Amino acid sequence: MAQPYENKTIDDALELLTTNGFDGLADAVTVLLNSAMIAERSEYLGVGPYERSVQRVSYANGFKDKALKTRLGSLSLKVPQTRDSEFYPQSLEKGLRSERALLLAIAEMYVQGVSTRRVKKIVEELCGMSVSSSQVSRAAAQLDEFLEAWRNRELGQYRYIVLDAQYEKVRQGGQVLDVAVLIACGVDARGHRDVLGCSISLSEAEVHWRAFLSELKDRGLYGIEFIVSDAHEGLQAARKAVFPSVPWQRCQFHLQQNAGKYVPKMAMRAPVAADIRAIFTAPDLEEAQHLLEKFLSRYEKTAPKLVAWAEEALPEGFTAFGLPSSHRRRLRTTNLMERLNEEIKRRTCVARLFPNEASCLRLVSAVLMEISEDWQTAEKRYVFFEEEDKYVDTIKGDRIYRKKVA
């Protein structure tokens, strides 16, 4: 004969709270959660405790002790078991999801540039439980599979790409080295920006840039019509080897900076900079070439080294004149990378020195993945491609406003 079963869970929880106040809150939650799991098992089995029924799908098989860390402290739970081992309580699963969410939050703090020790302190203050530095590091490492999948994702058509690099300090073999962070961004066929990938290497030598660009190509990158970068020798050699027929634009901002090295007098710097700026902002290629000829004539006697350099270097910044005027403003420099580099530096300046290349790549990848998602989901496009001749673009500040021509 089945034995009567009386559920006194609520009464037991109330008694704990009445007797111990807030000190009994953890015990009260333990009682309620244990009871909820028993109720879930009964629902799964199709019968209640001590009941008999032909609808039974399995049999109860005792309990398994489990300690669950929460904001209330560690809860000593008894997880109900079944003989078929197919049952697991959803109430506990939700608790475990919360625990995993905490680990992801810890990892997110790491990505935001919060140091390991500071993360540990924050969790202890907010959650009332301690975590070790190794737990924080493991939580950050859980990001690796997502980041690796993002770095190796399939690419597609990107009409414009921008290449750049920056340096971070990494400990390697007992030494502190400046390693190069190679980054590629692109503008897809819809006109949205995207981060195509990143890589960590010992330098910007051709072998490293070539491996990075070849990997992008192997991931399906195609349809490139225009490349923007600085004139680093290693990058240029790799670009010519991997994308030999794609037009290249030398960053006009870097050109203006480089010109200062060939100006013989400090008083000449401002007028030289203004003249170069006028060349680059000319309305078309013909006018730019005309202004360049005047520039060369003007400084032929007073700055011969500047003239020799400018005659060869400045035309490398003219490729952008082949783009629509609204695109030219966006793609004549590598400024597209500006926010990326600032964001990376803001996050990495907390770490200052990475223990290895893997930790550096993890943090940089997480920052770039976050920015890439923002770019791809943005309502406004970076440039417009379709039916260019039917629209007129007006540029105000950093935005492009488009009006259809009747």
Of 56, 74, 53, 52, residue with least CA distance to 65: 74
Inside any domain, residue 362:
yes
Q: Where are the beta strands (DSSP E) in 225-367?
A: 226-229, 248-250
Instruction: Give residue-wise pLDDT tens across range 40-76.
Output: 888 888 877 777 777 788 888 888 888 776 656 677 8
Q: Which domain holds residue 210?
A: 155-377
Residues 216 and 351 in one domain: yes
Q: Are residues 53 and 136 in the same domain?
A: no
Sign of CA dihedral 344, 345, 350, 352: positive
Helix segments in 46-151, DSSP class H = 90-111, 116-127, 133-141, 144-151
Q: Give the span between the Cα atoms of 122 and 105, in whole angstroms.
A: 11
Residue type, 33: L
Tokens of 143: 């990001």
Domain identity same for 188 and 331? yes
Q: What contacts 306, CB < 8 A, 6 or more positions away?
A: 259, 262, 263, 264, 272, 299
pLDDT at residue 200 greater than cutoff 70: yes
In-domain check, residue 2: no
**Can you spell out the DSSP letters for 338-390?**
HHHHHHHHHHHHHH-SBSSHHHHHHHHHHHHHHHHHHHHT-SS-SS--TTGGG
Residue 140 has pLDDT above 90, yes or no: no
Same domain, 233 and 132: no
Q: Does residue 27 sit in the same domain as residue 138? A: no
Q: How many CA atoms lie within 13 A of 32 on its CB side?
A: 14
User: How does pLDDT run across 243-284, given as a tens digit for each residue?
Assistant: 999 999 999 999 999 998 999 899 899 999 999 999 999 999
Using a 10 angstrom Cβ sphere, with 0-12 exposed, 13-18 middle and 19 or more buried, the burial of residue 40 is: middle
Instruction: Determine the average pLDDT of the residues in 363-372.
Output: 87
Q: Are 182 and 204 in contact (CB under 8 A)?
A: yes
Between 119 and 179, name the one with better pLDDT.
Answer: 179
Report residue 123's pLDDT band, with 50, 70 and 90 as the boundaries: low
Main-chain dihedrals φ then ψ at residue 102, nearest 5 degrees: -65, -45
| Pairing of the two strands 226-229 and 248-250 | parallel
Structural domain includes residue 43 = yes
pLDDT of residue 378: 86
Domain count, the chain: 3
158-172/226-229 β-pairing: parallel
Residue 14, pLDDT score: 61
Whether 354 shows a pLDDT value over 70: the answer reads: yes
How far apart (Å, rounded) are the C-alpha atoms in residues 183 and 185? 7
In a domain, residue 402? The reply is no
